[in-house]
Amino acid sequence: MTNKSSSAPGTAFRIATLAVLTAVTAVFTLVIRIPIAPTRGYLNLGDVAIYFCAFSFGPFTALAAGGLGTALADLLSGYAQFAPISLLVHGLQGLVAGLIASSGRGGRAETPLWLLAVCAGTLIMCSGYLAAESLLFGFGAALVELPGNLLQNLAGALAGIPLALAVRRAYPPIREFRW
């Protein structure tokens, strides 16, 4: 029997954290919904939670919480046709943003990486929904939603980055919870 006395969180803690962050992502996605007529989709604040997860907990947490949380919100709010798209697109958005943000730890180098991470996440999210909605509703209808998706990502970054920084300042051990 070995004694593991490390400061890294255990499996149960990680699972609980992931469950809570998935629920938080779903709530952020559900709390404000602005419908878009041509695609029958909606704008939301889910990207705030996705970028917070990517910058605070790392790429794999953002992949799972971002994908599962937004897909769950779609199912709960009557947008089941978007659930598989949200699972894939928002999951990849969180994964890529988290991977880029994690590539340089600490110091002033984080800020440009976080901005690059948001740009990459925005590209993935906007192009993913544009492609999926083009197949479902036609390119013209999908194009109508593009400015809203860009705005949604900008809002996600403008709120998610300060939230991640505030939580880091208030609770520095969060830096050890990355996975």
- pLDDT tens for 11-34 read 898 999 999 999 999 999 999 988
Whole-number CA gyration radius for the chain: 17
For 171, the token pair is 């609770």
Backbone angles phi, psi at 32, to 5 degrees: -130, 120
Domain 11-172, second-level architecture: Orthogonal Bundle (1.10)
SS3 of 178, please? coil
Indicate the domain borders of the chain.
11-172
CA-nearest of 70, 55, 63 to 157 is: 55
What is the per-residue burial (b if ≥16 Cβ within 10 Å, else e) of 67-82? bbbbbbbbeebebeeb
Global pTM? 0.91
Q: Report residue 21 as tokens.
A: 């962050």
E strand or H helix at 166: helix 139-170
Tokens of 96: 């890529």
| pLDDT (average), residues 143-148 | 93
Quick check: 24 and 3 in contact, CB under 8 A? no
Q: What is the pLDDT of residues 67-113, one digit of tens each?
A: 999 999 999 999 999 999 999 999 999 999 999 998 876 555 577 89
